[in-house]
Amino acid sequence: MLRGVRTPLLAAAAVVALATTACGRAGGNPVLGDWELDRSATSASAVLAVETTDLVRISFRGDAIAAGDTVIPVTYAVEGTRVRAIRGDGRGEHAIEVLPDGRIRVELPIGVIAEYRKAQP
C-alpha cells in the first residue's frame, strides 16, 4: 500500500519542482521590465544619490540589469515577494522587494534603498 502512494507523491513533487523553476524564469519574475524612480516614496538623500549615479530608470531584463550605459549580467532567484538579482560578475547580489501596490523597493549597488514604479512609455 505504501508503494502505491509513493508513486503519485513523487509525481506531484516533480510537478511542483518544475513549476517553481518555471516561475523563476520567463513570466514568473515580477520585476522584469522598465522601472523609474518613485521620488515621493524615496528619501531625499537616496533620490540625490540615484540621480547622481544615473539610476533614475532601471531595466530588469531576462539576463541583465541595465541603467544608462551600464549593463550588469544577472540571474534571478524569485522567492515569493522578494527577488534576488545575482550578479554575473561575482560582485554580490541585489535584493528587490515587490510591494503590494506593484512598486518595487531595490537595494541599489550605491548603498541606498529606493522605490520604483513601472516606467511610463
* Domains annotated on the chain, with CATH: 2-118 (2.40.128)
Mean pLDDT for 13-26 is: 38
Average pLDDT, the chain: 83
pLDDT given at position 27? 54
* Spatial CA neighbour of 113 closest among 100, 91, 97, 102: 97
Query: Rounded distance, CA 31 to CA 107, Å?
Result: 13
Instruction: Quote the cell numbers at residue 119.
Output: 516606467
Residue 110 confidence (pLDDT): 86
Q: Give yes or no for residue 12 having a pLDDT over 70.
A: no
Lowest model confidence (mean pLDDT) among 5-9, 31-35, 113-117: 5-9
pLDDT for 23 = 41
Report the pLDDT value the prediction gives residue 44, as an integer from 0 to 100: 97
Concatenated DSSP letters of 80-111: TTEEEEEETTSS-EEEEEE-TTS-EEEE-TTS
What is the per-residue burial (b if ≥16 Cβ within 10 Å, else e) of 59-75?
Answer: ebeeebbebeeeeeebe
- Position 38 scores a pLDDT of 98
Q: Write out pLDDT tens, residues 36-94.
A: 999 999 999 999 999 999 999 999 999 999 999 999 999 999 999 999 999 999 999 99
The whole-number pLDDT of residue 21 equals 38
